[in-house]
Amino acid sequence: MNYRFIENLHIPLKYEKKEGTKGSFLQVDGEKGILPERISWGMYAKCKASNRDSHKVSEINAQYKKMESGAYKGINGGKIHTSIWKPLPNYPEFYGYGIIDERHNLFDLLIIYSENVCTSSMEIHIFKGMGKPDFLENAFSFLRNLSKKEALSIQGFNGYL
């Protein structure tokens, strides 16, 4: 897929861990009104001993506040839930990826990038409609090429925005 086309589908967001919490992250950069400003990060659902769940690395859970607007507020009563899976094998530099929200005919891809394995900050890169298997490789490749330009580093990320 064309670089410029993917660029138009890409929404980069940055979250930092709220002090004194176990897994609560607050949005610090990127377009507002996409995901909730506060998200919960961590494995909450009970994992089965299935092959599928062995690829699961975390979850994002969040809910929009009453007055908060958001791209996904209209679905699932404003509740966000997505499992985060291990990245594609050829892209180990990324933490993982998830999809919002197959149950509602949306296939927005979320790729998680973090320089501290999501202990204090993370970048969530959303790609509209690219959550189906055919497009995963394109999105990861796009991000890798951005990262080559240091756009995924903290300073670069700010510059990128």
Partner 1 sequence: MNLDYIEVTQFTGKDKPNLEYLQREAFYPNAERYSFQGCKKIEIWNFPERNQLSIKGSFPYFLNGHNYNSSTEDWKEGIDYLSSCLNLNLYLGLIEAFEFGTIQEISFPENAFLRNHVKIQGMEARSYQKGNVLTGKEFLSPSLKVKLYDSNRNIKQKLEKPIQEEITRLWGWDREKHYIKLENHYKKPEVHFRGNLYLHEILSPEFQITLQWELYKTYQKIMKTGNVILPEKKADINAGTIPLIILKELESVYNFNTEELLRAKLKEISEELLSPADRKARLKILRENLKKISTSGRSEFDISELLKAKIQQQDNTDTPFIYEKKGEEILTQISKI
- Binding of partner 1 by 146 (CB under 8 A): yes
DSSP string, 25-87: EEEEEE-SSSS-SEEEES--SPPPSSTTGGGEEEEEEEE--TT---TTTTSGGGEEEEEEEPP
CB of 93 to partner 1, least distance (A): 16
* Interaction residues for partner 1, span 74-113 (CB under 8 A): 104-107
Q: Which is nearer to partner 1, 54 or 129 (CB)?
A: 129
- Binding of partner 1 by 135 (CB under 8 A): yes
CB of 13 to partner 1, least distance (A): 16
- CA–CA gap between residue 120 and residue 116 (Å, rounded): 7
- CA–CA gap between residue 16 and residue 74 (Å, rounded): 25
Q: Which residues on neighbouring strands pair with residue 56, listed in sequence order?
A: 85
Contact with partner 1 (CB under 8 A) among 48, 129, 153, 158 = 129
Judged by the rule CB under 8 A, the positions of this chain that interact with partner 1 are: 1-9, 104-107, 128-130, 132, 134-135, 138, 141-142, 145-146, 148-149, 151, 156, 159-160
